[in-house]
Structure 1
């Protein structure tokens, strides 16, 4: 079950509050996340790298510290990094990486791209705004373009509270997620589960 929300604790726009939390914890987050890849995350990234055409144009939504983009670039995939949190953009700039500002909930997406990557991002999107976000992603892909993402698997909505802030969490069952993707014009071709800090569903979907 998602964490409970103490009365009066969370106020204001959920998307903005979540971004503010990442603004406050970007460096700690980067230090806590292993920059190397293994297991399901590595398998998903390798699958994407193997499926995109040579010279593909790839967009990453929510690049964070940039470890996934680094891994894809190591596999020969060129990637445009974006993040809604200035603190993550600054962290990557200090590493010599260019990261554009982009909020997948509020902003129009550039494109079209051969693939879009959004790992550990869309679980923060409110349920009533999720379909709109998926339609934007599908619209930013070339026909037959690929979408790689990970989501928290389960039921219900909740908040994760930390010293840095409050983070919105929206849980989806695999069946419900596939249905939402199909409605947006995206068909799941590969999926896998990761059980770590919560249950995660990774998938690669293709635009019809």
Structure 2
């Protein structure tokens, strides 16, 4: 278990208690996702955390598969009566018995993935998403990577920062098309975020 997962595992309940309401930008992205996929669309959520986004997705009519790499978050959501799978998107089987997902939602979760591993993760997500299915993800905007201690998580967590152009290139190389990245989205501590949207490219026989 890497140090970032350990940090979340230690303070998962505090993180849940202090989680802010859904930001307007995230709510708008979720509403757009629901409108684009339709009632009952199946969404793989990577990094469900305390479960805030999944609840809104369900209110919008989506069927969400909750997953997280942190055992304490999985236990927390299961304790609330939700099904949640312990899942590492880099190494675990992402497929579902029902078939490909209609969309993938990864809000502020893949920012912990090492730069050299993100392409592999996005390719694995593409492989379990139907052709023309949707990807929505967000990461912190910036250069390089580093450790940060802030908020309700007491131990340092590792973050990989991205610029719009390189992030779009990685997504396109991983099998996603119609890639667009919005930059400069303000965070709560003066940081800026990138929001990427894309569609699964057509599978060539």
Q: TM-score, normalised by structure 1?
A: 0.87
For residue 159 of structure 2, the aligned residue among 169, 180, 201 is 169
CA distance in 2, matches of 1:42, 1:91: 23
CA distance in 2, matches of 1:30, 1:65: 5
The secondary structure found in structure 1 opposite 2:146 is strand
For residue 200 of structure 1, the aligned residue among 176, 182, 193 is 193
The secondary structure found in structure 1 opposite 2:156 is strand
The secondary structure found in structure 1 opposite 2:25 is helix
Structure 1's unaligned 5+ residue stretches are: 1-14
Residue 143 of structure 1 corresponds to: 131
- Aligned residues between the structures: 193
Residue 44 of structure 1 corresponds to: 29
For residue 152 of structure 1, the aligned residue among 140, 156, 169 is 140
CA distance in 2, matches of 1:199, 1:32: 20
Residue 127 of structure 1 corresponds to: 115
Superposed CA offset, 1:93-134 (max 9, x none): 222111111011222311421101111111100111111111
> Is 2:174 the counterpart of 1:184?
yes
Structure 1 residue 192 displacement after superposition: 5.6
CA distance in 1, matches of 2:23, 2:140: 19
CA contact (8 A) 2:164 2:183 kept: no
CA distance in 2, matches of 1:144, 1:76: 20
Q: Which runs of 4+ in 1 moved over 3 A?
A: 161-164, 189-193
Residue 7 of structure 2 corresponds to: 21
Q: TM-score, normalised by structure 2?
A: 0.88
CA contact (8 A) 2:7 2:157 kept: yes
Superposed CA offset, 1:15-63 (max 9, x none): 71111111011111111212x4231111111111111133311111110
- Higher RCO (CA-CA < 8 Å; seq separation 6+): 1
Residue 80 of structure 2 corresponds to: 95
Written as runs of structure 1 = structure 2, the 5 A alignment for 1:14-93 is 16-34=2-20, 36-93=21-78
Structure 1 residue 139 displacement after superposition: 0.8
CA contact (8 A) 2:122 2:174 kept: yes
Residue 10 of structure 1 corresponds to: none
Q: Which deviates the most, 103-112 or 174-183?
A: 103-112
Superposed CA offset, 1:178-205 (max 9, x none): 1111111213256364212321111221
Q: Which deviates the most, 159-168 or 175-184?
A: 159-168
